[in-house]
């Protein structure tokens, strides 16, 4: 079975500062990893995904994440936070041949003006 | 492309009644649809996976007689909460994928409140 752990249920950063949201995974087979964003009372939007190609993955809205097998991590970063980035972010894992997604507990990102 | 809609976006029903939530893939055929439940300030919990034309596969602990799922066509899946109770109040989100192993596209969610 696979799982993800998101460190920090709540992260606050100043507008223009670096955003770093942490995600560590556990999987007995090579994983597929995802970051989703959820705005209040809305569904999930895919930010980016890792599916065993390049380890540095670029997504929408200026976000990127790096797959580090040695650290079992897939942290999400953005160089400069924008007010519109305030939302809930979920890391998720699946494995090839099994499309079930297992979600982390989420990190609420607050942007300080 | 890859748009998923849900209807209704919110619903209030009385305890003991049933409510149906629809999930539609608008611009693609979805062989597989998923239903999730999300409690306030919590993560998404997979309830069941449905493949077009076959019975849904429920996750452990999910009552299949209470949460009826039908995936009658390649673009529509429905979740019926039967004999709803206040503890069923939650945010229900569906997702759809073109075929096994492919990306899931999420709907906007349905807020259910049972009074």
Q: What is the pLDDT along chain A (113 residues), one digit of tens a residue?
A: 889 999 999 999 999 999 999 999 998 888 999 999 999 878 889 999 998 778 999 999 999 999 999 999 999 999 999 999 999 999 999 887 667 889 999 999 999 99
DSSP code at position B103: P
In 3-state terms, what secondary structure has residue A7?
coil
Q: Does A50 touch chain B (CB under 8 A)?
A: no
Tokens 């849904």 found at: B56
Q: Which pLDDT tens digit goes with each residue over B84-101?
A: 999 999 999 999 988 766
Q: Residue B70 pairs with which residues in a beta bridge?
A: B78
pLDDT at residue B34 greater than cutoff 70: yes
Q: Distance between the two ends of chain A, CA-based, in angstroms?
A: 41
DSSP-derived pairing of the beta strands A24-26 and B110-114: unpaired
Q: Residue B35 pairs with which residues in a beta bridge?
A: B48, B94
What does the buried/exposed string (b/e) look like for B70-97 if buried means 16 or more CB atoms within 10 Å of the residue's CB? ebeebbbbbbebeebeeebbbbbbbbbb
Position B100 scores a pLDDT of 63
Position B58 scores a pLDDT of 95
Position B103 scores a pLDDT of 81
Q: Which pLDDT tens digit goes with each residue over B41-75?
A: 788 899 999 988 888 999 999 999 999 999 889 99
What helix, strand, coil percent values describe chain B, rounded to 5?
5, 50, 45
Find which of B21, B38, B110 to mutate to test the A interface (most A CBs within 10 Å of its CB). Answer: B38
Local confidence band at B1 (pLDDT 50, 70, 90 cut-offs): low
Q: Does A45 touch chain B (CB under 8 A)?
A: yes
Å between B100 CA and nearest CA of chain A: 6
As given in the structure block, the two tokens for residue B97 are 């994928």
Q: Please give the share of chain B, as a percent, with pLDDT higher than 70.
A: 97
The H or E element spanning position A45 is strand A44-50
- Who among B44, B45, B102 is closest to A99 (CB)? B102
Chain B CB contacts of A101 below 8 Å: 34, 44, 46, 104
Contact A101 B4 (CB under 8 A): no
């Amino acid at each position: 079975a696979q799982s993800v752990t998101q460190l920090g249920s709540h992260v606050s950063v100043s507008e223009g500062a670096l955003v770093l949201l942490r995600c560590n995974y556990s999987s007995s087979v090579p994983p597929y990893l995802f970051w989703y964003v959820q705005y209040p009372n809305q569904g999930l939007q895919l930010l980016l995904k890792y599916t065993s190609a390049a380890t540095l993955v670029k997504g929408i809205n200026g976000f990127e994440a790096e797959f580090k097998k040695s650290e079992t991590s897939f942290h999400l970063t953005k160089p400069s936070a924008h007010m519109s980035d305030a939302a809930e972010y979920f890391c998720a894992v699946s494995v090839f041949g099994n499309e079930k997604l297992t979600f982390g507990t989420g990190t609420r990102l607050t942007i300080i003006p | 492309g890859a748009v998923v809609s849900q209807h209704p976006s919110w619903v209030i029903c009385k305890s003991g009644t049933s409510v149906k939530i629809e999930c539609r893939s608008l611009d693609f055929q979805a062989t597989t649809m998923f239903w999730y439940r999300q409690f306030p300030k919590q993560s998404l919990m997979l309830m069941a996976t449905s493949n077009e034309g076959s019975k849904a596969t429920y996750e452990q602990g999910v009552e299949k007689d209470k949460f009826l799922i039908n995936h009658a066509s390649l673009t529509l899946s429905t979740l019926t909460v039967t004999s709803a109770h206040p503890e069923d109040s939650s945010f229900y989100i569906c997702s759809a994928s073109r075929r096994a192993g492919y990306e899931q596209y999420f709907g906007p969610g349905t807020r259910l409140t049972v009074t």
